[in-house]
Amino acid sequence: MDLTSRERFVATFAGTSRCSPPLWGDGIRDDVVEDWASQGFRPDAGWERTLGIERFEVVQPDLRHVDFSFTPVTNPEPVQTCPADDIRRYPRDWDQQVVSFSTRDFAVGLRVSRGLFLTFGVADWNSLAPLLIALHDEPETMSHRLREAAEFAMQVLQRAYDSVKFDFVVFSEPIASNCAPVISPEMLRGVCGAAYKVLLDQARKAGVSHVVFQTYGNTASLIPAFRDLGASIFWSGESGVAGVSYPRIRNRYGGALGLIGGIDSAILSLNENEMERRLELDVVPLLEQGRYLPLLDGRVRRGVSYQSYAKYRHLLKDVVARACGP
């Protein structure tokens, strides 16, 4: 009997059996689809299936509140001042989503943290600089404030846990440039430890065992801290331009750390032979070692033709089938 996409996600990261991981969508921008239409592409109801794109969802309740912003918030949105249990923190069709998720055959995750900087309202250098100074000068105070934000988030998230059986949770941590993180592993552990612990305890109480740390930029040096904070799966956006090598990460941490992503989006500019060679070199060893879900390291952007993307998806499907079986 064939496994569903959801079952294959669970089996892939449980590491208990060898199977083909689900081939999630790469996040195609609307303007890209519009460009493809001008190239003769006519999307129909089954076009994603034709490309082997398998559905997944990440529920993202709005965890923002003005009380946790490190800098003053002018003209806050209504949701930024409402109580934790306000339904406006969830999508308008939340009740319908709950019903559809109850019979799903695809993986669904829950974002439980916006990350250190976004929780504190960082939006630009003017808000980042004073926060970095405070993290250095008053780490205990900042840790306490982050723990308060986490406790507020727990109240928001409980509605989701009460309604849906999630396959994974996501800690989003945009905390680096393409060169390096802007804080040290020691500071990340010290400031975030208490906050992340209560969020993880809540997830585990709800029966969620897969913990994804989704990051951007070059956060390779923070992986030991992510693992100490509870990460079981690492997912890096923009890994190609940031020089984050998944093969090197796997060589260092082995199969104990699951991986999502890691395929440089620049592959879409290659010809068919070069694409296949890149996938064979970078993706196949990770698939053979297990606990890996291949995915582009960023959304498909303008300038990529439909023909090029379709070629990539078909090659990826073939490579995965050869490495893992159909």
Residue 184 within a domain? yes
Overall size of the chain counted in residues? 326
pLDDT exceeds 80 at position 216 = yes
Do the domain assignments include residue 75?
A: yes
**Any domain includes 33:** no
- pLDDT by residue (tens digit) across 78-132? 999 999 999 999 999 999 999 999 999 999 999 999 999 999 999 888 889 999 9
Q: Is the dihedral of CA 241, 247, 253, 257 positive or negative?
A: positive
* CB environment 265-297: b (16+ within 10 A), e (fewer): bebbebeeeebbebbeebbbebbeebbbbbbbb
Angstrom distances, CA of residue 266 to CA of 96, 238, 289, 296: 38, 10, 24, 9
Q: Please tell me the predicted confidence (pLDDT) of residue 223.
A: 94
Q: What is the pLDDT of residue 125?
A: 85
When pLDDT is averaged across residues 236-257 and rounded to a whole number, the result is 92
Higher confidence at residue 45 or residue 209? 209
Q: Examine residue 303 and state whether it is found in any structural domain, yes or no.
A: no
pLDDT at 1: 61
Structure confidence at residue 326 as a pLDDT band (50, 70, 90)? low
3-state secondary structure the chain: CCCCHHHHHHHHHHCCCCCCCCCECCCECHHHHHHHHHCCCCCCCCHHHHCCCECCEEECCCCCCHHHCCCCCCCCCHHHCCCCCCHHHCCCCHHHHHHHHCCCCCCEEEEEECCHHHHCCCCCHHHHHHHHHHHHHCHHHHHHHHHHHHHHHHHHHHHHHHHCCCCEEEEEECCECCCCECCCHHHHHHHHHHHHHHHHHHHHHCCCCCEEEEEECCCHHHHHHHHHCCCCEEEEECHHHHCCCHHHHHHHHHHHCEEEECECHHHHHCCHHHHHHHHHHHCHHHHHHCCEECCECCCECCCCCHHHHHHHHHHHHHHHHHHHCC
Sheet of 292-293: strands edge to edge?
57-59, 108-113, 168-173, 211-216, 233-237, 258-261, 292-293
How far apart are alpha carbons 189 and 309 in whole angstroms?
39
Asked if residue 177 lies in contact with residue 218, where contact means CB atoms within 8 angstroms, the answer is yes
Q: How much is the average pLDDT of 210-227?
A: 94
Mean pLDDT for all residues in the chain: 93
- CA torsion angle 281 256 300 264 (round to 10): -30
Look at residue 163 in the predicted model and tell me its pLDDT.
Answer: 98
With 80 as the cut, is the pLDDT of residue 149 above it? yes
Q: Which two tokens stand for residue 213?
A: 């740390």
| pLDDT exceeds 90 at position 135 | yes
What is the pLDDT, as a whole number, of residue 11? 94
Q: Could you list the residue range(s) of the whole structural domain that residue 61 is in?
A: 56-244
pLDDT in tens, 51-62: 899 999 999 999
Q: Is residue 178 part of a domain?
A: yes
pLDDT in tens, 162-185: 999 999 999 998 888 888 899 999
Contact 306, 272 (CB under 8 A): no
Give the model's confidence band at 188: pLDDT under 50 very low, under 70 low, under 90 confident, else very high. Answer: very high
Is residue 73 scored above 90 in pLDDT? no
Q: How many domains would you assign to the chain? A: 1
CB contact set of 266 (below 8 Å; sequence gap of 6+): 240
**Has residue 45 got a pLDDT over 70?**
no
Contacts of 297 (CB under 8 A, 6+ apart): 236, 237, 238, 239, 240, 261, 262, 263, 264, 265
pLDDT of residue 74: 86
- Categorize the per-residue pLDDT at 240 as very low, low, confident or very high, splitting at 50, 70 and 90: confident
> Which pLDDT value is given to residue 54?
95
